[in-house]
Amino acid sequence: MNRESSPDIVQLGTTWTAYFANKNALVDISKYVDEDMYFEPSIKSCKILGSEKIYALPLNVDVRVLYYWKSIINNPEIELKDWNAFNKACKRIQELIKDEKAPEGMRWAIGFQTEHGEWDMLHQFAICLWNAGGEIISVRKVLGIFPINKGALQ
């Protein structure tokens, strides 16, 4: 597609922004965008990693949902007031499961919503992994680094 026949505006998922910007298929629109109008992680998805240039605008900004077993989380020992408390609760749940003190048949206490089936599980999981300090691909972008994420995954 050449510039004369390409569209002026296109809707594409944020996972494609950096790819098309690197191919010079998107233009820098930074001078037209007030970053303060957007939630920081949302506008970050409209840039190339390491660049401050903006190539897109956030479109479908939403929240993710975690489901949990009330019988485990609603416990005097566990209070979910922030991310650290959530991590502490997860560790406590792992202990209950390991010590076989969890409800019968329960292997996992928390689940991810997958509105489109199994194919979007990575999108749901990645957010929690990144919040916990984990990564999917090394900074050099040459290998998957799941083993390094052991702490973030626990």
| CA-based max dimension of the chain | 66
- Each residue's pLDDT tens digit, 86-133: 777 777 777 776 776 666 655 555 556 556 666 666 766 777 777 777
| pLDDT score for 114 | 59
Structural domain tally of the chain? 2
- The DSSP element (H or E) to which 19 belongs, if any, is helix 17-22
The verdict on 78 and 148 lying in the same domain is yes
The pTM of this model reads 0.49
Do both 74 and 140 map to the same domain?
yes
Q: Per-residue pLDDT for 1 more than 50?
A: no
| Contact residues for 28 (Cβ-Cβ < 8 A; gap 6+) | 53, 54, 55
> SS3 helix, strand, coil % of the chain, rounded to 5?
40, 10, 50
- Whether residue 80 sits in one domain with residue 116: yes
CA distances from 31 to 27, 56, 60, 99 (A): 11, 12, 22, 57
The answer, yes or no, to whether residue 73 has pLDDT greater than 70, is no
| Same domain flag for 44 and 79 | no
Backbone angles phi, psi at 110, to 5 degrees: -130, 140
Tell me which of 20, 44, 59 is where a domain ends.
Answer: 59
Q: Could you tell me the CA-to-CA distances from 125 to 27, 66, 87, 89, 138 in Å, in that order?
A: 30, 10, 15, 18, 17
Residue 153: is its pLDDT beyond 70?
A: no
Domain that holds residue 81: 66-153
Higher pLDDT: 75 or 129? It is 129
Query: Which tens digits make up the pLDDT trace of 17-61?
Result: 888 999 999 999 999 999 999 888 888 889 988 899 999 998 877
The residue assigned the tokens 């919503």 is: 113
CB 33 within 8 A of CB 57: yes
Q: Which residue has the tokens 């956030």?
A: 58
One domain, residues 118 and 83: yes
The DSSP 8-state label assigned to residue 68 in this structure reads: E
Query: Are 75 and 36 part of one and the same domain?
Result: no
- Name the domain boundary from 59, 84, 106: 59
Q: Look at 136 and 23; give whichever has higher pLDDT.
A: 23
**25 & 76 share domain:** no
Residues 143 and 74 in one domain: yes
The angle formed by the CA atoms of residues 43, 34 and 9, to the nearest 5 degrees, is 70
